[in-house]
Amino acid sequence: PAVSIGNVGQLCVDLLINTEKTFHLKKIGILTSKFVLPLVGYLGANSNQLTLALEVYHSSEWGITVVQQRTPVIIGKHDEFCEEVSQWIESIGFASVLVLASSPAYRRSDRQLQGDSPDAIFGFKRRL
């Protein structure tokens, strides 16, 4: 997910991770990037497990891999981070990628505000 308004992407991924009985996602590693703010903290209020800025979870049963991004990209480093993540995705060979994020309403035009809220907006610079 992308760190975004209301942490929508993060919360969605947390829901996927914490519904172990459904998706059986297990933490398999971390990603490191000099383009995101560092983080070390407890996974939850009553947990002794540590969490980091970029964690990778996988479900063999469902054949899905999920990345939980808990900190924002450093201002001015979005292009570099996207390139870095794109290279990682290509190196793994994922069949498809879904990015979960949200967008603030103030960035929408008056015309867009009068209509329904968009369910998805995609703006990739290049095709993976």
Compute the distance between CA of residue 10 and CA of residue 68 in angstroms, rounded to an integer: 7
Compute the distance between CA of residue 11 and CA of residue 125 in angstroms, rounded to an integer: 26
Domains of the chain: 5-114 (3.40.50.10900)
User: Parallel, antiparallel, or unpaired for β 54-59 and 64-69?
Assistant: antiparallel
Q: Identify the pLDDT of residue 35.
A: 97
Inform me whether the pLDDT recorded for 1 exceeds 90: no
Q: Identify the pLDDT of residue 108.
A: 74
The percentage of residues in the chain with a pLDDT greater than 90, rounded to a whole number, is: 41
